[in-house]
Amino acid sequence: MRKVLGRHRAARGAAQRLLVAGPIVGAMLGALALAAPAQAASGFLAGAASVDITPPPYTQASDAAFVPACGTSAAQVSQLWPGPRPFAFEKPYIDQYGLGRYAPGDPYCDADHTGRYEAPYIAGGSGQNHWPTAVESGNGPGAQAIVLRVDGQRVALVSVDSIGLFNVTMDRIRASVKALDPMIGSVFISSTHDESAPDPIGLWGPDASELPEHPSTPSATSSGVDEYYFDFLVERVAHAVAAADAALRPATLAVANGSMPSNTQSCWSSYPYIDDQDLPVMQARDQSGKVIFTLADVGTHAETLAFSGVRDYTSTLSADWPGAMRAAFAARWPGSVGVELAGMVGSVETPTVYEPQTTQVLRVPGPFHGVQGNPDGCSSVYPEPSSGTPVSDARQFIPAYGQSVADAAASALEGGRTLVPSSLHGQQQSLCIPLENNYFLAAYAAGLFPDRPRYSDSSCTVATSASASTQQAAASGSQEAQANWLKTNVGVLTLGPIQLAYSPGEVFPFTEVRGPIDEAQMPFPTNCYEPLTNNFYCGSPLPMTPWISAEMTQPYRFLVGLGEDMIGYMFPPGNFVGGEGEVNQQPWLAYESSSQNGDHDRFGHGHADDAESVGPYAGLSVTSTLQQLLGSDGRGSRVEPGLYMDASGHLSDSPFAGEGFTGAVGVEVMPPGAKSPQKLLVGRQASGWATFDALPDPGTAGTPLRYSVRTGGVVLSSGKPLLIDVYSGATALGG
């Protein structure tokens, strides 16, 4: 099938160029031809470009993609296969059920011999794919590209409105960039996790939900991957990179570490309830002061319309709130390009936005509770504000949240640092991880991931299909033959005092920034569970993931999720519960076999996201590889085992008051080689609090508290940060 598909890509590509070519790409290539003077300059240069990646509307001419396989001409294709198709890239079919859209059982023309019906289905939305019928006015999915140059080295950053691109698709983009613009070196790619964009993964696809006799629970019967749309997407994004390179000009860079908008209330779907309230921002200006691009790293899902439950909304293609944020940037700085990078979005769902924008949500953790007015519905640990009205309509939410994030980013830049970077260093590394999730294995067997290989060896050198793997295992009976492995990628980009760490999935924030959690609070603290005694401490401790924000070597730290690949949710092994049979190994199998709590952990907390993870160890594998890259780039922050200390000497893994702890006045640490702990009081041995990325902590807005949910340690009297590892500190200090 792979070889047949390759033979037909040339025909598809020619047809898609009819759609891609035009004023936009013509302008891009024209700009590229005029780029020589800027490229000859030395020092720091920056350029940016944006491109629309919304599937074009269907026209009879777009049926040229299916000639001659489905008809001798585009006109004949539309006559022979008259099923309604609102967008290009939908395979021609006959609507024998009269539903106005393709359904399983309808005859269709399999022009590229993939053996499946292909259309740009919408990727997200309550477990069922949605056939797109419209595009949100002025806010269709797009892609943004930034090219940075320091002396002779050039690097591109790309952000795509997508639920998540696989690394194989990213490699296609890189190859196309190389063909268009050989001067570009590394290309770092991430997705905004937009769940109202076309599905590039294949989790969804045609289902039987609207047939006369349909299953009670809709389920995909075919992959939603549309190779025709992929050709279009790859070419569009590659041309955006080339256009950004053509627009290079001498620039300065402003960078700041802001805070998430105060009128938003975070919302979680799975334990633990820790988010990333950082809002790292950078902005480039040319020598005339004109803004080239503004980039913000935001740690929340983009799922507003997809999970609204409103049929007109869920069937609408949209860039979601990242598009609204970019529009707000463009309105503030005309002619510039806005870019959103998805941060640590794991379990951090659509927040509640309150109006007016001056509403203050206190970031003081408290009881877990439901949230009123949230478009998607989930729960929070932050209290309801004393005033303000929640924005409950999904369409209204998109501009409200986008504007709030843009305003918070602009406010941060007002106090930011302006510099001219003198160094640029990019690192990209592949790694091989075990594919442990039984649901993912079943999806592979069903052909839902047609473009992504899996491997039969732990080095990811022998690619295999589901059928080949099964036959090989049966023939040899070996454990290795039955193994399933995925190749994924991480990356680190260092630009002067700015560093971006790319992780390939929806990263739970505490995986990389820690927070108030130790071994005793993990659902699975060890690799053993005894059902009869409900003993979770009968084995060896499961490892914690490396503290990535502390491992980073530069003061301005951007943690990028869904970067270089998309492998689902990522967290430390001890946070995986697998109460629905996701894995077959211990200790999770014993818990799943004996538990009556479904996907709930020993504390009663939900773990719905486990089913969408590669397995318990993916997060550890990814962060360990990322740690190695960061280690080769320099030294990270100083970290010691420790806990927070109140005025009475009580210890806690959180600086906030609660359960007999009256609030932190300092920290107690166990320095390396020391025989007794050391107390560091703020105002004496320490001058203030530090965030988890080793910057001065701004405190909790709306309160007199000088610490916050971002606190990770203290700033010593010397002015240097000292971060405390409460995970190891709880053991070291007996807390």
d(CA 200, CA 120): 8
In the structure, what pLDDT confidence band is assigned to residue 735 with cuts at 50, 70 and 90?
low
Is the pLDDT score of 28 beyond 60?
A: no
d(CA 22, CA 600): 53
Which DSSP state fits 509? H
d(CA 735, CA 726): 9
Q: What would the pLDDT profile of 516-551 be if each residue is shown by its tens digit?
A: 999 999 999 999 999 999 999 999 999 999 999 999
> Helices 2-20 and 227-246: crossing angle, nearest 10°?
50
Across 156-165, 433-442, 663-672, least confident range: 433-442
Q: Is the dihedral of CA 102, 106, 109, 111 positive or negative?
A: positive
β-bridge mates for residue 153, sequence order: 150
Of 353, 358, 338, 348, nearest to 295 (Cα)? 338
| Domain locations in the chain as residue ranges | 252-422, 429-492+517-548+570-631, 639-732
What pLDDT sits at residue 214? 62
Is the pLDDT score of 615 beyond 60?
A: yes
Q: Which residue in the block uniquely carries the two structure tokens 């640092």?
A: 417
What pLDDT sits at residue 375? 64
Q: Are 542 and 482 in contact (CB under 8 A)?
A: no
Distances in whole angstroms, Cα of residue 359 to Cα of each of 265, 353, 356, 384: 10, 9, 6, 11
DSSP string computed for 257-319? EEE--TTEE--BSBSS-----EEEEEEEEETTS-EEEEEEEE-S-B-TTTTS--HHHHTEE--
Q: What would the pLDDT profile of 71-122 be if each residue is shown by its tens digit?
A: 999 999 999 999 999 999 999 999 999 989 898 889 999 999 999 999 999 9
Q: Are 524 and 599 in contact (CB under 8 A)?
A: no
What pLDDT sits at residue 29? 40
Interior angle at CA 397, CA 320 and CA 192, nearest 5: 25
Distances in whole angstroms, Cα of residue 333 to Cα of each of 255, 294, 328, 645: 16, 9, 9, 46
Element containing residue 712 per DSSP (H, E): strand 711-716
Count of positions (residues) in the chain: 735
Predicted TM-score of the model (pTM) = 0.93
Estimate to the nearest angstrom the gap between the alpha carbon of 25 and the chain centroid. 28
Of 675, 610, 666, nearest to 643 (Cα)? 666
